[in-house]
Amino acid sequence: MSAPASLRTKPVDRRRLSAQDRSTYQPGPRNKAIARAKQYKARWSKDKQRKQFATEQKPGTGGFTAGIARQQQRLRMKGQEERRAKSFRPENSVGRDIYQELST
């Protein structure tokens, strides 16, 4: 990719211009256009050298997780495990008085 012919030309040598042309010549727009062209070319070149994605990109999690449904399932399983653990506990609670009975 190359710049347009007008941007590839050498800068204007103002010493060779007439006094009137020299006073009216404004290099600002030309310099600004050259700077924009250089920026574009640098961005384009860097993009071409960039390593492409190795995996397909998807919005959000990228498709590697099941999302909210998986979280809900984990919470359900945790609740079931807690209910199961409670079911193994003895029905009669053991109080502090058990130690008093042994000592007497």
How does DSSP assign 56-90, residue by residue? ---STTTTSS-THHHHHHHHHHHHHHHHHHHHTS-
User: Is 29 a member of any domain?
Assistant: yes
User: Is 12 a member of any domain?
Assistant: no
User: Is 99 a member of any domain?
Assistant: no
Count of the separate structural domains present in the chain = 1
User: Is 28 a member of any domain?
Assistant: yes
pLDDT < 70 regions, the chain = 1-9, 54-65, 93-96, 98-104
Q: What is the pLDDT of residues 13-27, one digit of tens each?
A: 888 888 888 888 888
Q: For residue 23, what are the domain limits?
A: 19-47
User: Is 32 a member of any domain?
Assistant: yes
pTM, 2 dp: 0.37
